[in-house]
Every structure is written in structure tokens, then in C-alpha cells.
């Protein structure tokens, strides 16, 4: 049996792109409790949610993968890494691809408005989905077994813990100082320093980027819109 490299330590960039709102609009566990039709409705909702999230995850990967390597899909999130080559410009390149991921994500959501022709909860709430990204620079171990690669180490734990914060926004970028200190002075985004208590890591100074459109009003689609887009919606979920 081919085992490969075990616990090979690397230094580099760690990033998680997470779709916010997914767990909010899925109430499947509650629906399933309802007798007779509960399971049927839950399966219907679940299938639509899975198609939507898969579509959006693909968009995120397409935007980030030219710059970083996808390690794994984690539910409604994607975990990326990039080994540090010492060039000094990698952080800036990652930030550009973070912006691309944000823009492409929002562009795809606008293209998917036709799913609101479906009355199910995931389709109706899809317009509220947002993308948040956390980024860190540190060390990690890469374990390779056959064609599977697993990252481990304190910094891998930290980048995941960054998602468990007190920030009430659904769309933002959150970076550790280890990451943001590698950015050049010419970046277009304003970094706002905050402090967050991260489990097992204490209170950390972090840099936050926000986008100011959190409360955008998205009106409910009209009956005419739903009828007009019904064929497109049915074809999408076929």
C-alpha cells in the first residue's frame, strides 16, 4: 500500500471561503419531524440546497484555485492553501483572487435569481447568501495518503477558529496579522483592526475588511417573474 509523505511541515497561506446563510435557510431537521409529508418536503428542499451550494462553491474554486490549492470542501465552505515561495507578492495575489471570488460569487447569485420561481425555503432565501473569507499565514503539516492530502497543525486549527467570531456581518474578509503584514502598501482595501477572542488562542489582533452592503433590500419576486422563470428553474434542477 502506498502511504506517501507523512507529517511534512510547510510554511504558507491558509484560507477558508465560507458561504454565510446556508445553515440559516435549511430547516430540514425540523421539517422531517412532520408526519407523512415531512420527509418528502425535506428531501426536496435538501436537493435544491445542495445544487445551489455546489454551484456557488464551484464559482469560488474557479476564482481562487488559479492562485491557491484546494485542500477540501467542508460543507458550505472551501479550504485552500498555498506554500510560501518567498517571493513576497503572494499575499497581494491572494487578495486579488479574494476580490475575484467575491465579485464572481455575487455575479452568480444575480444570475440565479430565477430559482426564486420555486417556493421552497432554500430557493426563496438564496438571495440572502453571502461570502466571507478568513486568511492566515503560518506553518502546517501536510499528510499525503494515496492521492489524498490532509493539513494539520495549530495554524490550521486557528484559521478554522477564525470563523467562530463575534462579527455580526455575513460578508467580510478577516485576516490575521501574520497574513496582512505581508500585504503591500498599495492595496485598495481599508483594513480595520479589531480584537477577537479565539478559543484556545486568546485575544488576537486581526484585520477586517467590510463592504457596506449588508442591509441591501431584496424585494420578493412577483408572480409574473415566477411564471416567466419557472421553465428555467425546472431545467436547472432537473
Q: Is residue 62 part of a domain?
A: yes
Q: Is residue 1 part of a domain?
A: no
Q: Is residue 89 part of a domain?
A: yes
How many separate domains does the chain show?
1
Q: Is residue 3 part of a domain?
A: no
pLDDT for 46: 80
Burial (CB count <10 Å: 0-12, 13-18, 19+), residue 140:
buried
Q: Is residue 2 part of a domain?
A: no
- pLDDT band at residue 35 using 50, 70 and 90 as cut-offs: low
Helix, strand, coil: what percent of the chain each, to 5? 40, 30, 30
Q: Residue 104: give the domain boundaries.
A: 8-236
Q: Is residue 145 part of a domain?
A: yes
Burial (CB count <10 Å: 0-12, 13-18, 19+), residue 69:
middle
Burial (CB count <10 Å: 0-12, 13-18, 19+), residue 113:
middle
CATH number at residue 106: 3.30.70.1230
Q: For residues 47 and 26, what is the distance between their CA atoms, to the nearest angstrom?
A: 11
Q: For residues 41 and 5, what is the distance between their CA atoms, to the nearest angstrom?
A: 46
Bridge partners (DSSP) of residue 116 are: none
Q: Tens digit of pLDDT for each residue in 139-186?
A: 999 888 777 788 999 999 999 999 999 999 999 999 999 999 999 987
Amino acid at each position: 500500500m502506498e502511504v506517501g509523505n507523512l507529517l511534512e511541515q510547510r510554511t504558507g497561506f491558509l484560507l477558508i471561503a465560507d458561504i454565510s446563510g446556508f445553515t440559516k435557510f435549511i430547516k430540514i431537521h425540523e421539517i422531517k419531524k412532520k408526519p407523512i409529508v415531512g420527509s418528502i418536503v425535506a428531501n426536496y428542499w435538501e436537493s435544491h440546497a445542495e445544487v445551489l451550494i455546489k454551484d456557488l462553491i464551484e464559482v469560488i474554486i474557479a476564482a481562487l484555485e488559479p492562485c491557491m490549492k484546494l485542500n477540501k470542501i467542508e460543507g458550505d465552505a472551501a479550504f485552500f492553501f498555498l506554500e510560501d515561495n518567498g517571493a513576497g507578492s503572494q499575499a497581494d495575489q491572494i487578495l486579488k483572487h479574494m476580490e475575484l471570488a467575491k465579485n464572481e460569487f455575487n455575479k452568480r447569485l444575480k444570475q440565479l435569481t430565477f430559482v426564486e420561481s420555486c417556493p421552497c425555503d432554500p430557493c426563496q432565501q438564496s438571495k440572502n447568501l453571502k461570502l466571507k473569507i478568513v486568511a492566515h499565514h503560518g506553518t502546517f503539516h501536510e499528510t499525503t495518503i494515496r492521492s489524498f492530502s490532509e493539513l494539520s497543525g495549530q495554524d490550521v486549527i486557528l484559521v478554522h477558529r477564525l470563523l467562530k467570531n463575534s462579527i455580526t456581518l455575513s460578508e467580510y474578509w478577516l485576516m490575521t496579522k501574520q497574513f496582512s503584514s505581508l500585504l503591500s502598501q498599495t492595496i485598495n482595501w481599508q483594513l480595520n483592526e479589531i480584537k477577537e477572542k479565539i478559543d484556545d488562542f486568546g485575544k488576537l489582533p486581526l484585520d477586517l475588511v467590510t463592504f457596506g452592503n449588508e442591509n441591501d433590500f431584496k424585494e420578493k419576486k412577483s408572480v409574473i417573474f415566477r411564471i416567466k422563470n419557472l421553465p428555467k428553474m425546472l431545467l436547472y434542477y432537473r
